[in-house]
Structure formats: structure tokens, C-alpha cells
Structure 1
Amino acid sequence: MTELDRRSFLGRGLATTGGVLASGLAIETLSAHAAWAGAGRPAADPRESGYGPLRRMPARNTGEEYLALPAGFSYVVLSKSGTPMTDGVATPIAHDGMAAFPGTRRHTVRLIRNHEVRTTPGSPVGRVYVEGSRRYDELGVGGTTTLEVDLRSGAVLRHFVSLNGTIVNCAGGRMLYDRGWLTCEETTAGPTQGWQRKHGYIFAVPLDGPAPGSPAPSPPLTAMGRFSHEAVAVDPRTGYVYETEDQSGTPDGFYRFRPSDPRDLAKGGVLEMLKIRGVDGYDCREGQTMGARLPVEWVRIDDPDPDLENGATTCTGQGLAKGGAKFNRLEGCWYGDGSVFFNSTSGGDAKNGDPPNADGYLEGYGQVWQYVPGRRDGGTLVLVYESPGRKELDSPDNLTFTPRGGIVLCEDDASSADADPHPLAPGLTNVNRLIGLDPRRGQPFEFAVNIADECEFAGACFSPDGSVLFVNNFGDSVSLDPPGRTYAIRGPWHRGPL
């Protein structure tokens, strides 16, 4: 495939172009960390770097304490599960992956947010649902909501359902040319589990079109695969879409989709799984060396939409049977400076103590991988970060590159064996944080701590002008307790690495 029109790519606007340019610094950050760790330096206390010590603080608009942040930073709560939105629908539960786009008016930003609702078919509890709208599955409980936010005041101008009829919408990624959001279902459930339709797909939520009371009538993009999707990232030079997989307890694959028409993913294409060249079933989960360059080839998934209800082989099974590489809990995915970065939440040699997976693998504290596409070959895979233990980083989920070249990792501490308390969150056993990586020294540092509950952080993303970090507190996936929340954080970013 020839490269897409470069002029179109360079005209995508300040937000995306700035992110791509800044990502070169983020790559240096990851390289600095790999060198720092590879030199045998002891793990630094993440509370002693970055923007300095954190302190508990209340939200400016509610007066309640939800976060601990460095001095000089502040935050507001933009939305909370159960509160009414502009379209009259109650804000759904399970706030997950999210992206920020330029708003429809000056000084505004548009957020598109996933809801990983895991209730039973048709359940009204926290459901993403607009009566009378067109949707894929009438019993679907998940989907996306859209928020229009005034960056100056922090006020939510509009807040509405932008896609419904799906389930377990976990993460996703920005569409080519920032035309919208690709939302992913983290499940392969279907009629056998009580749903009207098969699930496990990617759906498009266009930036222009959905409005209060009129969610996008998006059909599934079946050629992109039916599996437990997590996140995606699009290479703007080729239009290829890279996809992560997160199925609990078994090996996962890293995929790419080569579309027939990059501007219209519904026209189909070819789905492939990453394989280490010349090695069948290479295990990326442990025993890896940071900075080592692994040559890549790609194996085709012959049946990207398997009829699992009648015994068809899964996409994962097809790829592994052809020698695809094994990962564990692939989650956040990000494109920048010619590379795709993705998290393996439970990869690594330092083990968290949980029981072994079905194939005997013992889970670790997390890895960050870099895939560098090749122009004449399959490309190169590099491990650029691996956590040595929970103090440094515990279970990275979503990730984002900041406009200034920093990196933010959202923790999702899913370990049941290794308690993870924090002095700023007394009474909580498994505390989740936002972890930054310092571009200067490569060291990790705490930027935020969830002091409200034990829920994960998700959906971290910056406003196009770089002034505000938006992030979700996931909440619960089957009830309103604890509720999901979306925060807007602002402060003196120039004083530190982010």
C-alpha cells in the first residue's frame, strides 16, 4: 500500500501534529528509563520525583476529596455515574477509555468516553441507552458518551449518549485524521450468553454526527476481528490499525488491520497477528531484555469473524497456530513518531503473586512495548519498559503521551495476592495511581493517587492545547457503587516532566 497523502496528514491540526512531534521526546523518555533500569540502579521511590510530594485535595466544584495531587494542581469533577445528561439519560457506569478532540466552539474540547458496562442483557442498571435510537443490539448495555467542555470554566456544555447497543466497551483509539473514535468491545459474548447479536467487535463513533438524542447507528467492523478487544492505534502514514487483546488467563495477541480503504474501514481488509520472525510461539511475557530489537513478521487471520457459537477457532487460536507471539493482558495503545506503543498489563519477570494462568504463566507487574513498522519488512519489536515491582508501577492499563513529551500510565491493580496500600489513602488495600515517566532521568514518579476507592484510572488524555489532563475513575461495572467519575486536572505543567 502506498503512503497516504502527506499533505492531508500534516494538515490534521495543532492537537494531533503537536502530539506526534512531542512523542519523539517520549521515546527518549522510555529509552532513558530502559538505560536507567538496565544499569542496575535501584528502583527510586516514585513519591520523591516528578512534581514533588502529593497531598489530598478536594475537587474545586464539589468540595469532596477524590484525588491526591502535587502542590499547585487542582481538579473538577465533570460527570458522575447516575447524574442526568443533556439528553435526559442518566450518566452510565464504568468510565473507561477516552479521547479529547477540538470542540465545536472556541475554547472547548469534545471528549468521547467508553463505558465498560458488564451487567446482564437489557439490564437498566447504569445502561448506555437512548429510547427509540438505532443500535446494533437491542439488549446492549454498553457504548459511549460525549462531553463538550469549556476549558476556561470547566463547565460541561453538553453531555449525551453517542453510541449504544454494544457491550463491555473498554478502550479504543482515534480514527484516521481524527475523524472520530474507534470503540472496542472487550468480550466475545453472543446469543449463547443471552445477547441478541454477536459481540467482540470495533465500532466507529464519528466526531461529527452524534447529538443529544441521536446516537451514531454504527454497525460492527467485523473484518477488524472478533476477539476481546482493548485498544487501537492508527498509523497515519499507511492507515493500518494496530489492535491489542485482553482475554483473562490465556495468551493474547497483538494485531494489525490493513484496510482496503483507510478512509472507510467498513470496506474490509486483512487482519494479521504479530510473530517474531523465524520463531513459532515466541513468549514476550517474561525473560525479555529491555532495548533488544526483535524482528517481526505477520501471520494472517483467515477467519476474522469466527462463528464461536458453533465451534469456530478464535482469532487468537488461529494466530498462535501459525506461530504468533504471546503476550499477557495487552491494553493501552498509542501511535507516535513512527512507532506504536502498547502496554502488557501483567507481563514481566517480577511476579505479583496471583495464581498461574491456564498455561502456567505467572503474571508480572507490567511492560511497555514499542513496535516500529518496517518499510521493506515486518518491522521491529522492542521492550522499552518493564516494572520491577508494585512500588514503581503496578499493572499499567491505558497510556498517553503528553504534548510536552512526557508519558502518563494509568494503573489497574488487578492483583488479588499483593496488597498495595498508600499512606495518602488510609483504609484502602489496592490503591491505583497515575504514574509519569521523567524524560530527564527515566525514573517513574507518582502524579496522582485515587484516594476515593480502589478503582482503576482510565482514559487519560490531554486537551488539544495541553492545558488540561482528563482522566476517568472507572467506578464499578455492574452497579452505581462506587460511581464512575471524569476529572479535569490543570496546573503548572511546565514545572515538571509532563
Structure 2
Amino acid sequence: MLRRTLLCTGAAAITAVFTGSLWHGAAEVRPGPGRYGPLKVPDTNGLALPDGFTSRLIARTGHKVGGLTWHAAPDGGACFPDGEGWIYVSNCEVPLLGGASAVRFGKDGSIRDAYRILSGANLNCAGGATPWRTWLSCEEIARGRIFECDPYGERSARPRLAMGRFKHEAAACDPDREVVYLTEDEPDGCFYRFRPGDWGDLTEGTLEVMCGAGERVIWKPVPSPAALPRPTRHQVKEARHFDGGEGCYYADGVCYFTTKGDNRVWAYDAASATLGVAYDADSPLTGVDNITGAPTGDLYVAEDGGNMEINLIAPDRSVSPFLRLDGHGRSEITGPAFSPDGKRLYFSSQRGRSGKPTDGHTFEVTGPFRNLVPPQRA
């Protein structure tokens, strides 16, 4: 049963504040049949998909893929164009031996190569892609770092310490305002943005934290991004706190982020500096975690537990399962990302059927996705 409808904090409890193309007008979040119809019986990979969609297991922890032994506990991921093919990167969320790997695909979807792009980091959870085609890999530990990685494997990864030392989860770039939004996985975590001194160079800049208790918010500088002597989330008195920040995704002027403690999908309208809630319900989406989007305006939200589903939130506020992974009940779905042409969706089951980090599975789903190619920026 839904316990809340779409709402916005503050006085405008019914009126949507979003100016992005995804959320115009007010409407109730509700379960629905979805854009692609009901799920079929699970396939040989355990994936229940809509009619017309198929799955492929592309990598498994401890097994070779493209000459590389695939890492344990695959987590956040993203896709990057690579000539006529593409690259999928995936984080490794294990202590001390974390990092990130990449799989290179040819134009026909065949796997051409695989390689490490970051080694020796610690509990690399989620992250985000940049417009200049690098991968931000985030450490989910106290005073964790962000590493900027080269998906193409030509340059060494570099820590970006100016982006703050805290329990990082995910990142999303806003090229319109030239900032990077950051989530923090703490029960009293904050929502941050990083303003680099030079867009495209993350070595220096200003870390700011969202402040204010109502619909309208402001940003204030974090005095010590290095978290000395106090954690970043406790340095600004007016900072707004969120219950377990998870995934983060930016599109059309709106930054969406999830909080696992209260099972919400938030929406920050960057143009009007207002904050609302895009999803706040008990079902069908439970255990909100990683989030991505499609050119249609649909949001794809992965579950950490729940029914092991990726749910689709459409612009009309209907919420429906897009896929379900059976037999992986002790795992979580991580790293959803579309190939550059929008024809393939990648994601992982972090702990597989056994529930152990050494049993990670990484999948590809193909099928009749709608409006495949996003509009090109001028």
C-alpha cells in the first residue's frame, strides 16, 4: 500500500516544483503496468523481463572476462562511448582491495577487452560519469575519497581531495551550473555540491552543503572538506540531513537522489533551488539504491534487497517493475547504466545467489527500449 503520494516539502505540499522535462504538473505516484508491460517468467539467468527483452551474463566474480579476472562485489557503474563500441565500468566494493574495472565492447556487443582502471582503493561503492568522459569512483568509508578514473585505461586514476573526505556514495554532474552533486551514506548524511574552479578540472574548487529545512534551500561552504577535526556533515549548523544517501542522477535541470533510510527518491530543481520528493511509498519500489535515467524521461531505480527489482518511474508518476532477479535474495542490484545508444542496460547482482561478495554477477539486458538516442547538446 502506498503511504504517501508525490509531495514537496513546505507549504506547496501538492504542487510539483520540478521544472525539468521529467516532472511537469502535480500527480500521484501510483503502481502501474509500466511502459513495457508485465514481467515474464524468469529466463535461464533468473531474470524476469518484459516481452521482447533478453539478458546476457557478461561477467562473474573470479571468472575471466576479456582476459581480466572480474572483481568481487561489483557496485556502481557507467557507460562511455568508444568509437563504434562502448565501455562499461564497474566499482569493486571490498575493503582495501577495492577499485574499478572496465569492459570494452565492439559495435556488435562482443566483448573485446577488460582491464583495471583503479586499484588499491577502499570500498568503492557508487560514483558518476563526467561530461569529459571520466569516471568518479567513490569510497564509502569515513573520510573516503573520490578518484577520477580513465575508462579508456590510458591514464592513472587520481584522488580529488577537494571534493571532500566523507562516506561518499554517488556523484552526478550538472553541466548547466558546472557543479557536481554528491551523496553521503550516513544516517544523518548531507547532500553536497562541488564547484570546481575550472569546469573539467576537479583538483581545486569549493565544497558546499545543502542547507535549510523547507522547500527552498541554499548552499553554504564546508569549512574543512578534509573533515578535520570534524566530519563534513557536522561542520555547518544549518546543513540539511538525509537518512542514508545513495544513488544520484542529473537530467534537464533536476538532480534526483535516493535515501535508503526512508525509501525516498528526492528531486532537487537546480534552477529554482527547491527540493521535493519524487517517490515516497512502501511499494512497488523498496530498498531504493542506485538510480539512472533514459532519454524518455524514465527513472530506473535499483533495489538493495526488496524484490531484487529495477523499478521504472515514468514521467506520469506510474511506478512499475522493469525487471526482477530471482534466486538472488541475499544480494542487491547495483550499477544500472545504459549504453551510449540506449539499446542495452547493464547492472550487477553484487553478491549473487550465495549472498557473498565473491559471487558477483554482471548482466546486460537488450530489447525494445523507447526513444533510444538522447538529443545532442548544441
TM-score (normalised: structure 1) = 0.66
> Which residues of 2 match residues 328-339 of structure 1 at below 5 A?
328-339=243-254
RMSD: 2.6
Partner of 2:178: 239
Task: Quickly say closer, same or farther: Cα 1:26–1:479, change in 2 above 3 A.
Answer: farther
Superposition pairs of residues 214-253 of structure 1, within 5 angstroms:
216-247=155-186, 250-253=187-190
Shift in CA distance, 495/235, structure 1 to aligned 2, threshold 3 Å = closer
CA contact (8 A) 1:31 1:384 kept: no
**2:319 corresponds to which residue?**
444
Three-state SS of the structure 2 residue aligned to 1:265 is strand
CA contact (8 A) 1:272 1:301 kept: yes
Aligned residues of 2:66 and 2:103 also touching (Cα < 8 A): no
Contact 1:82 1:480 in 2 (8 A): no
2:301 to 409, 421, 424: 409
For the residue of structure 2 that corresponds to 1:453, the secondary structure is coil
Give the secondary structure class of the aligned counterpart of 1:316. helix
Deviations 1:9-66 (A, max 9, x none): xxxxxxxxxxxxxxxx99555456x5124xxxxx43x5x44322212333xxxxx332
SS at match of 2:227: coil
Is 1:269 the counterpart of 2:205? The answer is: yes
Residue type at the aligned position of 2:99: G
Give the equivalent residue in structure 2 for 1:300.
Answer: 221
Deviations 1:396-451 (A, max 9, x none): 111111022221111113xxxxxxxxxxxxxxxx5210100233x42101110010
Match of residue 52 from structure 2: 72
Match of 1:299, as an amino acid? K
1:115 partnered with 2:12: no
Q: Is the 8 A contact 1:26 1:401 kept in 2?
A: no
For residue 180 of structure 1, the aligned residue among 126, 134, 142 is 134
Gaps of 5+ in 1: 1-24, 38-42, 59-63, 119-139, 189-198, 277-281, 283-292, 348-365, 414-429
The amino acid that maps onto 2:321 is: E
After superposition, the Cα gap between the structure-2 partners of 1:398 and 1:66, relative to the gap in structure 1 and judged at 3 Å, is same
Number of the residue aligned with 2:257: 342
Pick closer, same or farther for the CA change 1:235–1:27 going to 2, 3 Å.
closer
Looking at structure 2, the residues matched to 26 and 412 of structure 1 have their Cα atoms a distance apart, in angstroms, of 29
Distance 2:42 2:234 in 1: 48
- Of residues 344, 367, 370, the one that matches 1:468 is 344
Q: Equivalent residue of 1:223, what SS?
A: helix
1:370 and 2:267 matched: yes
- The residue type equivalent to 1:50 in the other structure is R
Aligned length: 354
User: Contact (CA 8 Å) 1:93, 1:479: kept in 2 or not?
Assistant: no
Q: Is the 8 A contact 1:204 1:218 kept in 2?
A: yes
Between the aligned partners of 2:370 and 2:240, the Cα distance in structure 1 is 40
Report the Cα offset of residue 479 of structure 1. 8.3
Q: Which residue of 1 aligns with 2:42?
A: 57
Residue 65 of structure 1 contacts residue 452 of structure 1 at CA under 8 Å; is this kept in 2?
no
CA distance in 2, matches of 1:315, 1:444: 35
8 Å CA contact 1:30–1:384 kept in 2: the answer is no
Say if 2:232 is the partner of 1:315. Answer: yes
Deviation per CA, 1:245-304: give whole Å up to 9, x if none.
002xx31100111112222211x111111001xxxxx3xxxxxxxxxx722111221111
**C-alpha spacing 1:495/1:403, structure 2 compared with 1 (3 Å):** closer
1:306 is displaced (CA, Å) by 2.5
Matched position secondary structure for 1:54? coil
In the alignment, is the contact (CA less than 8 A) between 1:241 and 1:258 conserved in 2?
yes
| Correspondence 1:169 to 2:124 | yes
The one-letter code matched in structure 1 to 2:45 is: E
Larger Rg: 1
Aligned equivalent of 1:99, options 48, 61, 78: 78
Three-state SS of the structure 1 residue aligned to 2:27 is helix
Amino acid corresponding to residue 87 of structure 2 in structure 1: R
Matched position secondary structure for 2:158: coil
- Cα distance, 1:26–1:344 mapped onto 2, change above 3 Å: farther
Q: CA deviation at 1:161?
A: 0.8
Within 2, Cα distance between the matches of 1:168 and 1:157? 27
C-alpha distance in structure 2 between counterparts of 1:314 and 1:49, whole Å: 42
